[in-house]
Chain A
Amino acid sequence: MYKEYEAIIGLEVHAQLSTETKAFCSCSTKFGKTPNSNVCPVCLGHPGVLPVLNEKVVEYSALMGLATNCNINEYSVFARKNYFYPDLPKGYQISQYKEPICSDGFLEITTANNEKKRIRIERIHIEEDAGKSIHDSGSETLVDLNRCGVPLIEIVSKPDIKSPEEASLYLQKIRQIVRYLGICDGNMEEGSLRCDANVSVRKIGEKILGTKTEIKNMNSFKNIERAINFEIERQIDLLEDGKQIDQQTLLWNADLNKSESMRSKEEADDYRYFPEPDLFPVIVDEAWIEKIKTQMPELANARCERFINQYNIPEYDARILTNEKSLADYFESGTNFTNDFKSLSNWVMVEVLGIINNEKISIKDFPISSENLTQLINFINNGTISGKIAKEVFSEMLTDNKTAEQIISEKNISQISDVSELKEIISNIFNDYPKQVKEYIDGKEKLIGFFVGKIMQQTQGKANPKLLNEILKNKLSSLKNN
């Protein structure tokens, strides 16, 4: 980015609420069913039907509002947003316009240099999703209305975001919150979480906002950063060339790594919003808010703080462990079986996360229970096995569905931690290698590694390394001093 410019970014995030049924009818919201099978006269937009609001949609939206420090508006109403598109059979989308369910909130992101930054939220409103059009199949467009009427919340930020990285962090935070709340699965590939960005640039010090453009179709964190970056540079290049920025909507093309104009100002939207006469106002009073608050789980930030204090682990660890609720649950259930929280944290962050990230699975599908992982850690701590052997046992636990205890006893790999047994092994090795013993006594102390190697070879790595080192050193120095 050119140094004398700054970017001003606002995000509109759509999150699909994970209710069983649609917003205004009792059809299923399940993804990937036979096309046009989760439909009824209401979501097909047949004349004369009446929508009835799903109560859970209100509760989920209010939960999100509470989690992002919003006001939950006591009075909110629905509006019709009119536009024609084949995947919107009514000819309008039911949305909220002037009186949304939540407004004036904020959330906090932690930037790369560990600074906390507050991004304000202008509003959160309820709306319904449209269906799905398939354009690339022959001469006609195919329309599937299964998704039509699925409840969404749209979370609109203030233009407080200053860089593509901040945009990505903000969205990651939203994803974390909706997943902690359990109100949206946060799956960007399947479109459960979608994001549009409003971007403008201006010279630093300038008071007036530049002309903004809107970018759509960014379906991954990487694409969001790339698309916004591309747009900032495009706008600055135009200004540097003395040209104007057209107010327009752009579609991000991830294959070509560039944005393409979708429509320009002349065709600007004219949605002719008006109150939806088929739906009554929603009144969320204090009593209801109190009831919704009882469903509020401990969120990531609070849990992170608690992990630091309760388990005495570094903030770095706590942040990684609490990033996903399911991972935090995994760690926390493990703490019931050990007091070595730091080792547990290391194993979860390095070994467990390594595997679930590599294999792109969820912690819920991870084959080793946290109880069994903890047992393995306890075997290291009580000297039964070394850390090195533990890694091998861990790999077997992954594939064999056996506990550490079973593997250790079946393979007879528990460590030799018996002092007299180790002493005997050392004596035998000294007898086998008198030349090396003499060289050691004559000052070649590096040979201690040679003896450790030989003993490990002979015991198949089972000698307790710490104990072995200790005894070996004692023996050698007593030989030397005699």
Chain B
Amino acid sequence: MAITKEQVRHVAKLARLKLSEEELENYTKELSSILDYMEKLNELDTSNVEPLTYPVGNKNVFRKDELGISVKTEDALKNAPLKNDKYFKVPKVIKSNKK
């Protein structure tokens, strides 16, 4: 197994996914087989190759600091399951967790 059940549980928690014992088993197997397959790539010697992050060579793609059009508050809130006339509403978050 390339990945342990504990690791899957951890990743699921970080992604806010609740998995049953059975799902946990399945994902551990599936993810492991995918990782094993990817492991094949490691057979290639890439020690002299720079990691490629961007498949196209673009750089410095900027916009000017000029005001554009924002959407109306009403429209911004349209997709929200919970809202009042100005705010998104979410279940109470008490403990702060932000950076």
Contact = CB atoms under 8 A, between A and B. Distances in A.
User: Do A and B form a real pair?
Assistant: yes
Interface stretch (A128-136, A155-163, A343-351, A473-481): A128-136
A26 B65 CA distance: 7
A248 to B, nearest CB: 13
B86 A36 contact: yes
A133 B95 CA distance: 12
Contacts of B20: none
A87 B98 contact: yes
Interface stretch (B29-37, B38-46, B76-84): B76-84
A222 B77 CA distance: 39
Interface in A253-301: 262-263, 269-270, 272, 275, 277, 279-283
A282 B98 CA distance: 27
Interface of B: 10, 14, 16, 53-54, 58-73, 76-77, 82, 84, 86-99
Given A143-B87, A272-B14, A40 B97 contact: no
Interface string A399-440: 000000000000000000000000000000000000000000
Contacts of A235: none
Interface residues of A, number: 57
A54 B65 contact: yes
Contact of B60 (A34, A83, A251, A283): A283
Interface string A48-66: 0000111111100000000
A-B interface, 3 closest residue pairs, ranked by CB to CB distance from nearest? A26-B68, A55-B62, A142-B87
A141 B90 contact: yes
B93 to A, nearest CB: 5
A81 B67 CA distance: 27
Contacts of B60: 280-283
A285 to B, nearest CB: 9
Given A25-B68, A26-B68, A55-B65, A282 B59 contact: yes
Contacts of A141: 89-93
Contacts of B89: 140-143
Given A141-B93, A251-B96, 5 more contacts: A25-B68, A37-B76, A85-B93, A141-B90, A142-B89
A56 B65 contact: yes
Contacts of B59: 280-283
A186 B69 CA distance: 27
A96 interface: no
B98 A54 contact: no
Given A141-B89, A263-B95, A270 B14 contact: yes
A38 interface: yes
A77 interface: yes
A36 B73 contact: yes
Contacts of B14: 82, 270, 272
Q: Is the interface of A mostly helix, strand, loop or mixed?
A: loop
Contact of A26 (B53, B66, B95): B66
A20 B66 contact: yes
A39 B71 CA distance: 6
A53 B61 contact: yes
A372 interface: no
A184 B43 CA distance: 50
Given A35-B86, A35-B87, A77-B53, A85 B66 contact: no
Contact of A86 (B69, B77, B90, B94): B90
A389 B91 CA distance: 65
Nearest to B58: A280
Interface in A324-338: none
14 contacts: A20-B66, A36-B76, A55-B63, A56-B65, A130-B98, A133-B93, A140-B89, A141-B89, A141-B92, A269-B99, A275-B54, A277-B54, A279-B61, A281-B53
Contact of A52 (B53, B62, B95): B62
A88 interface: yes
A19 interface: yes
Contacts of B88: 36, 86, 142-145
A41 interface: yes
A369 interface: no
Nearest to A27: B70
Given A142-B88, A145-B88, A26 B63 contact: yes
B94 to A, nearest CB: 7
B51 to A, nearest CB: 9
A55 B89 CA distance: 34
A27 to B, nearest CB: 5
Residue of A20, A143, A145, A279 most packed against chain B (CB within 10 A)? A143
